[in-house]
Amino acid sequence: MVKRAVLILAVAVLLVAGLAPVAAMFVRSLDVDGQFSLANYESLLVSGRQWTLLANSLALASLTTILALAIGVPLGVLLGRTDLPLRRALAVLFTVPLLVPPYIIAVSWFDVLGPQGFLSQISAVAAEHAAAWLFGLWGNVLVLTSVFTPVVMLLTMVYLKTVNPRLEEAGKLAAGWCRVLWGITLPLVWPGILLAAVLVFLLAFGELGVPMFLRFSVFPVESFTQFTAFYNFGAATAAAAPMAGVTLLVFALERALVHQGTVHIRFAPQGDAASVIRLGRYRRPLGLAAIALCFLMVAAPLVALVARSMSVGAYAEAFAKAGDSLVRSIEYAALGASLLAILGFLLGYMIQDRALKGWPTVDWLTIFLFALPGSVIGIGLISLWNRPATNFVYGSFLIILLGYVAQYAGVTSRITAAILGEIPPSMEEAAQLAGARWPRRVLLITAPIARRGLVGAWLGGYIFCLRDVGISIMVYPPGQDTLPVRILTRMANGTPELIAALCVVMVLCALVPLAVLGLLLKWRGTAR
């Protein structure tokens, strides 16, 4: 009874925070000059240009996904299962592009490959060709691949932990590691790879800042233009509606390809550690290759960013001009991550346990909200919560937290569902038979056993909340902007050194909790 009530409450929170604003926007999109009308949707279908933009977006998303998988899966295997040198440092470095607004990464690549960039100091001809190539489909693919490959890498590493080492060991008796990885391990982690593909595809499909900077026309531009140039919210929502269709299609594909769906996985039996693959004579060359890839994908643009920020006073100015927004960013991201971790735990539990009918719909809803442009959710939140009776929410940072919950619940619920799959059902059943009711056994048995995964979900929520712009810029209370918003508002005429310094500070904001946590876990491990 309590279990059902709590899970229904969690779903209700998701509906209020996420579905209600979107539904409000949808209703608005059916209103043209005070009358019910489908005109906003019809105009989408009529315009031939929309189909071209859709094709562009699909091409960009598909190519980015394919490349991110091609790089991210082997990287995840190398960093997660082998004795590759410097693998922990490399795992952190490869994650860094995910922490910065993608637009900044595009600007950094321009600094490297543009006509006045670092490459031009080596070869002007090469720089000219590189610049021409950057401003087009493949340039966009390069930038988005470097941003979203960490998603694939991290999920591969997580899902590799689900593989029962006995299965690999059985294969090793008959074949070498390459065959075992290809024929046994990767098919077993296929649901995780598919989840990564879904997330990268949706993120790339919905990306706007990078294609606009690199002058590649994509589908989300229509929704954005309706907001920014026409102030037509109804048309803007209608323009975002195809996201629902795309998400449904992607979801259907995911479920068709993986029988159980990507959420239900079983980790290796407790206490069984996966064996580390010894690379032997390939250790050094693969290590060098990973370092080279890191340099190409991550270090080059980030070094450009850091190099630009290395001016006297840039960091002092950064803290002076944005110190307050930095503190707020960390506060809101930490609070948001905590809310998301709790909600994600409950939704993930519901999805993993199939505890309520309709769990697939809830699962789809969280992913759909994740894929939706933040501006649609933001304007929806304004229309719902900007009333005198609810001003205590709208006029405070609580509205930002609501936005985070709406947009990112899918991240924590999917990570949590995956981690909860680690726990054999007998753990909770034993607690039940010992006399514990649901809240007690979830709090004292399930959650503690899953604690590392819950921390991972918290960190995932923290990273996404920290880097959020779409929601924050729409709803932040006056005078309470966050750091990514401050970076964007200062970008027009702030010095490049200041902007670069602010971005570096933002990266550190994201990395510091990771480092602290890593040290804390290491200390607790040693203490025991």
Sites for other proteins among residues 450-469 (CB under 8 A) = 451, 469
* Beta carbon of residue 342, minimum distance to other proteins (angstroms, whole number): 11
260 in contact with other proteins (CB under 8 A): no
User: Considering only residues 299, 436, 511, 514, which one is a binding residue for other proteins as defined by CB under 8 A?
Assistant: 436
Strand partners, 31: 36
Contact flag: residue 121 with other proteins (CB under 8 A): no
Q: How many residues bind other proteins (CB under 8 A)?
A: 81
Smallest Cα–Cα separation from 365: which of 350, 353, 379, 378?
350
Does residue 476 belong to the site contacting other proteins (CB under 8 A)?
A: yes
- The encoded tokens of residue 225 equal 């233009």
Instruction: Name the minimum Å distance from CB 47 to other proteins.
Output: 9
Q: How many CA atoms lie within 13 A of 21 on its CB side?
A: 30
Smaller CB separation from other proteins, 132 or 257: 132
Q: Of 89 and 444, which CB lies nearer to other proteins in the complex structure?
A: 444
**331 scored as a contact of other proteins (CB under 8 A):** yes
Rounded CA-CA distance 484/378 in Å is 16
- Closest distance to other proteins from the beta carbon of 249 (Å): 24
Minimum gap (Å) between residue 455 Cβ and other proteins: 10
Question: What single DSSP character describes residue 482?
Answer: -
Q: Does 132 bind other proteins (CB under 8 A)?
A: no
Question: Interface with other proteins includes 383 (CB under 8 A)?
Answer: yes
Is residue 270 a contact residue for other proteins (CB under 8 A)?
yes
When asked if residue 429 is in the footprint of other proteins (CB under 8 A), the reply is: yes
Q: C-alpha 116: how far from its chain's center?
A: 32
434 near other proteins, rule: CB under 8 A: yes
Residue 378, C-beta contacts closer than 8 angstroms, at least 6 positions apart: 403, 470, 471, 473, 474, 475
**Using CB under 8 A, which residues numbered 291 to 330 contact other proteins?**
328
| Contact flag: residue 88 with other proteins (CB under 8 A) | no
> Binding to other proteins (CB under 8 A): which residues in 175-214?
209, 212-213
Q: How buried is residue 161: exposed, middle or buried, by Cβ count under 10 Å (0-12/13-18/19+)?
A: buried
491 binding other proteins? (CB under 8 A): yes
Nearest to 475 by CA among 402, 405, 389: 402
Cα dist from 406 to 85, 148, 339, whole Å: 40, 21, 11
For residues 245 and 91, give the distance between their C-alpha atoms in angstroms, rounded to a whole number.
34
Q: Which range of residues in 76-84, 296-304, 355-363, 475-483 is near other proteins by CB under 8 A?
A: 475-483
Q: Site for other proteins (CB under 8 A): which residue of 16, 382, 393, 514?
A: 382
Binding status of residue 271 toward other proteins by CB under 8 A = yes
Q: Does 133 bind other proteins (CB under 8 A)?
A: no
Q: Assign residue 280 a region: left if phi > 0, alpha if psi is -120 to 50, beta otherwise?
A: left
**114 touches other proteins by CB under 8 A:** yes
Q: Which is nearer to other proteins, 274 or 334 (CB)?
A: 334
Question: According to CB under 8 A, which residues from 218 to 237 bind other proteins?
Answer: 221-222, 224-225, 227-231, 233
Q: Which stretch binds other proteins (CB under 8 A): 90-98, 196-204, 363-371, 422-430?
A: 422-430
Q: What DSSP state is assigned to residue 478? A: T
d(CA 168, CA 503): 43
* Least Cβ distance, residue 432 to other proteins (angstroms): 5
Q: How far is the CB of 110 from other proteins (least distance, A)?
A: 9
Exposure b/e, 66-90, CB count within 10 A at least 16 = b? ebbbebbbbbbbbbbbbebeebeeb
Residue 180 makes CB contacts below 8 A (sequence gap 6+) with 168, 171, 172
The residues in 45-84 that bind other proteins, with binding defined as CB under 8 A, are: 49, 53
* Distance of alpha carbon 150 from alpha carbon 195, whole angstroms: 13
